[in-house]
Structure 1
C-alpha cells in the first residue's frame, strides 16, 4: 500500500531517519537536513537501494512516479539501477560524438610523453599517426571507429612496412583504450590483436623476416672514424661518441652535461633514459673525452645540441653524418654489433663483459640479484682497448 506520506509531512520532517511511503518508496532525512528519495527492491534474492533524487528537486508525486517505473522493471526481472547506468553511458557516448580520434590521440600523447624514455619515441608517435592514421580516421568521432576503419588504415602498409604497421596498430589500440576509459566510446577495442585482428591479418613474422641492423665490419670502423673527423658538424661528433662508447643513439642524442664527469671519465646514463630502465655507467676513454671537449660550451644542458635552440640533435642528423662519411649502407645502431664482433674475435675479454658494456642483461634474474658490481674498471679496460683499435690503422 502506498500513500503513508503527505506533501506537507515531507516538508515538515526534520528528524534524521528513513520514512516509508509504501511499495518500496522511502524518504531519507540526514542529520544535516538533506532529504532524498530512495527506492528499495529485491531482485533475484538480493536486496538493493536506488536513489531517486533530492526531495527538494522532486515532489512526492514525482517520486511515486519514479518508483512506479522502477517497480515495472523489477516485475520483469530487470535491474533499474543497471538500466539507469546504461542510459547514462549512452548519453555520455552521444555527447562524445564530437570528440575525434585526433583529439584523443593528442590528449593521450600529452598525458604520457613525460614518461617516455626516448625523445625519438616521443617524436615517432605523432609523426606515425599523422602519416598513416589521421588521413583516414583522424577527424572521425572516436566513438565511430570500428574494425573496418582500422583495416582501412592498416591494410595498405601491413605487408609493405610491417614494422611500422605493427607500431601504428599498437598506438591506435592505446588511444582507443584511453578513449574508452575516459568514457568517449565503448569498451570494445577494434584495434586489439589477439582474438581479433589476428584473425584478419597475417603475423608480422609471416610477411617479413626479422632484419638485423646492417653493421659496418669492425675492420672498417677506424677508417670511418677518420672520415668523421673531417666533418665539423655536431652530429659528426655525436656519431664519433656513439661509436667510441658503443652506446645506443638515443642515449647519446639525449646526453646532458649533468650526466658527465670529465675528471673521473664517467658518463652516468639515468635509468629513465635506458632501454632496460636501469642506470648505466659508461667508462669514458681519452678519445671520447676529446670529443666532449670539442662540443663543450655549445649548450649548458645538452651535450649534442641541435641548431634549433633547446633541442638535441636528431636521428636524421646522425644519418646524414654517417652517409657523408661513407656509411650509407649501414645503420648507426649497427656500430654496437661492430663493437661486439671486435670484442669476440679480437680480444680475450669475457663475453659477459662485452654484453655489460652494451648495457645488456647478463645471466638470469637470480644471478643479477647477487651481482653487486657493474665491473666498471674491467669495462674501462675493454673500452680503452676499443679506443686504441679504432684509432689504429687496422
Structure 2
C-alpha cells in the first residue's frame, strides 16, 4: 500500500508544533509498520510498530521518508527470517558499554570521516577544500551526524540534494554531489566504505552558463550595502567590484603581495586559478580601502609582529563565514531597496560585471583579459609571455575608468587621479 506520509505533511506537523498547536503523537505511513512520532518537545522521529515485535526507533525525521521506508522494508525481511533488529541494537548498546579492547577501531561515523577527509586529503591537495568543507558541514553533516558512513544510502543522498534544490540552489546541489562523490571515493580507498553510493544518484541540475551581469543601480545598492556590512566582508566586496579579481584572490590576500607605493598587487602562481603569476594595478579607491584596514598582531613577546594576512580576525587564518555574510549583505540590500531583494546573484557576478562594464566603457578585449588574467587567443602561447608587461599601463587605465564609473553611479566623488579612456568602437 502506498504510504500516506509526505514531506509536506511532516512540514505541516513541524509548523503546528512551532505554533503551539496540539498534534497527535503517532502518524501512520501504512508502509511496513512505519510511523512518524511527534513528541511534545517538538522532536520528530521515525519508528516501526508491528506486533508482536517491540517498537523499533529508526532515526530523526530529517533522514527523509525514502530512507525510513527503505529501513522499514529491510526490517520486515529481517523479522521474517526471525532476526529482531531491536534486539540487535540492544546487544550493540550493551557491547558498547563493555570494556574496550586495546585496539580501538577508528570512528566510522559520517561526520568523523568528513573531518578526516578534509584534513588528510582535501587541504593538502584541493584548492576548493574550504568550499567543500562548508558545503558538507552545512548540508550533510547535520543530517547524518553519528550515522556510520556505510549506512548512508542513495535515497538519503538524493533527499539531501533535493533539500538544496528546494531552497533555490540547484547549482549548489550539483556541487555538493561532486564533493560527496569525492568523499566516498576516498572513503572506499581507505576502507571506511564498501562502495560509492553517489555514483548512481542523478545530477540534480544541468550546469548552465553563468551570464548574470549586474546593472548600475544594482551595483550601487551592493556598494552601499557593503558600507553597512563593515569589516571584513564589506571591504572585500568593494575590492571585488573595483578590481574584477576572484573572491579567494582578494579574501586570502597577503600584505607582502602589495606594493602600496606603486599601487600594485602581485599574486604568486600558487594563489591563482590558472597557476600563472598575476599583477594588477590598484585604482585610488582600492588603495584607500586597503589603507583603512586594521592590522592584526600575532606571536608573543619579542616575536610579536603584524600578520601578513590582509583579511583576518585571528591573524592566523583568512576570514571565513561568507555564506552568512552574503545573506546579511542581501538583507541590507533589501532594506535599502524598499524591502525588495535583488534577483539571484553571486559574488562571482561582480567579476563578470567588471569585465562587461570595462568593455562598455571602451576598454579593448585583450586589455580586459589581461586585467582578469584570462588566457585565450590574445594571450596564449609565446606571444602572451612577451605581451604581459606591455599591458600594465593599459590595465591601470582600464581599472581607473572602472573605478570612476563605480564612484559616479554610487554618488561618491572620484579621486582626481582617476582618468577616463576614450570610447572605442569594435572594428
How high is the TM-score relative to the length of structure 2? 0.56
Evaluate the alpha carbon distance shift between residue 184 and residue 334 of structure 1 in structure 2; reply closer, same or farther with a 3 A threshold: closer
**Distance (whole Å) between structure 2 residues aligned to residue 100 and residue 191 of structure 1:** 17
Q: State the match for 1:312 in structure 2.
A: 318
**Distance (whole Å) between structure 2 residues aligned to residue 263 and residue 211 of structure 1:** 39
Q: State the match for 1:361 in structure 2.
A: 375
Query: How far 1:283 moved relative to its partner?
Result: 0.9
Evaluate the alpha carbon distance shift between residue 371 and residue 134 of structure 1 in structure 2; reply closer, same or farther with a 3 A threshold: same
**Distance (whole Å) between structure 2 residues aligned to residue 132 and residue 223 of structure 1:** 30
**8 Å Cα contact 1:239/1:322 also seen in 2:** no
**Distance (whole Å) between structure 2 residues aligned to residue 311 and residue 97 of structure 1:** 29
Query: How far 1:309 moved relative to its partner?
Result: 5.3
Query: In the alignment, does 2:127 pair up with 1:117?
Result: yes
**Distance (whole Å) between structure 1 residues aligned to residue 132 and residue 228 of structure 2:** 35
Evaluate the alpha carbon distance shift between residue 292 and residue 319 of structure 1 in structure 2; reply closer, same or farther with a 3 A threshold: farther
What's the secondary structure of 2:135's corresponding residue?
Answer: helix
Q: Residues 227-246 of structure 1: matches in 2 within 5 Å?
A: 233-246=231-244
Please, which of 384, 387, 398 is the counterpart of residue 382 of structure 1? 398
Long gaps (5+) in structure 1: 1-94
What's the secondary structure of 1:295's corresponding residue?
Answer: coil
| Structure number, greater radius of gyration | 1
Question: What RMSD over aligned residues (CA atoms) do the two structures have, in Å?
Answer: 3.5
Query: How far 1:225 moved relative to its partner?
Result: 4.5
**Distance (whole Å) between structure 1 residues aligned to residue 142 and residue 219 of structure 2:** 43
Query: How far 1:282 moved relative to its partner?
Result: 1.3
Long gaps (5+) in structure 2: 1-103, 298-306, 412-427
Q: State the match for 2:72 in structure 1.
A: none
**Distance (whole Å) between structure 1 residues aligned to residue 106 and residue 317 of structure 2:** 37
How high is the TM-score relative to the length of structure 1? 0.61
Evaluate the alpha carbon distance shift between residue 167 and residue 138 of structure 1 in structure 2; reply closer, same or farther with a 3 A threshold: farther
What's the secondary structure of 1:106's corresponding residue?
Answer: helix
Q: State the match for 2:214 in structure 1.
A: 216
Q: State the match for 2:303 in structure 1.
A: none
Evaluate the alpha carbon distance shift between residue 184 and residue 235 of structure 1 in structure 2; reply closer, same or farther with a 3 A threshold: closer
Q: Residues 10-49 of structure 1: matches in 2 within 5 Å?
A: none
Query: How far 1:358 moved relative to its partner?
Result: 1.9
Query: How far 1:151 moved relative to its partner?
Result: 3.6
Evaluate the alpha carbon distance shift between residue 323 and residue 280 of structure 1 in structure 2; reply closer, same or farther with a 3 A threshold: farther
Evaluate the alpha carbon distance shift between residue 282 and residue 97 of structure 1 in structure 2; reply closer, same or farther with a 3 A threshold: closer
**Distance (whole Å) between structure 1 residues aligned to residue 218 and residue 137 of structure 2:** 39
Q: Residues 200-279 of structure 1: matches in 2 within 5 Å?
A: 201=202, 204-205=205-206, 210=208, 212=210, 214-218=212-216, 221=219, 225=223, 233-279=231-277
Please, which of 279, 282, 297 is the counterpart of residue 281 of structure 1? 279
Evaluate the alpha carbon distance shift between residue 97 and residue 249 of structure 1 in structure 2; reply closer, same or farther with a 3 A threshold: closer
**Distance (whole Å) between structure 1 residues aligned to residue 151 and residue 227 of structure 2:** 55
Please, which of 362, 371, 393 is the counterpart of residue 384 of structure 2? 371
What's the secondary structure of 2:292's corresponding residue?
Answer: helix
Query: In the alignment, does 2:191 pair up with 1:175?
Result: no
**Distance (whole Å) between structure 1 residues aligned to residue 117 and residue 189 of structure 2:** 11
**8 Å Cα contact 1:267/1:281 also seen in 2:** yes
Q: Deviations over 1:169-205 (max 9, x none)?
A: 222222221122223333x42212xxx33xxx36512
Compare relative contact order (CA 8 Å, sep 6+) and give the higher one, 1 or 2.
1
**Distance (whole Å) between structure 2 residues aligned to residue 337 and residue 129 of structure 1:** 27
What's the secondary structure of 1:204's corresponding residue?
Answer: coil
Query: How far 1:260 moved relative to its partner?
Result: 0.8
Q: Deviations over 1:237-270 (max 9, x none)?
A: 3322221111222221111101111122211123
**8 Å Cα contact 2:170/2:205 also seen in 1:** yes
**8 Å Cα contact 1:117/1:272 also seen in 2:** no
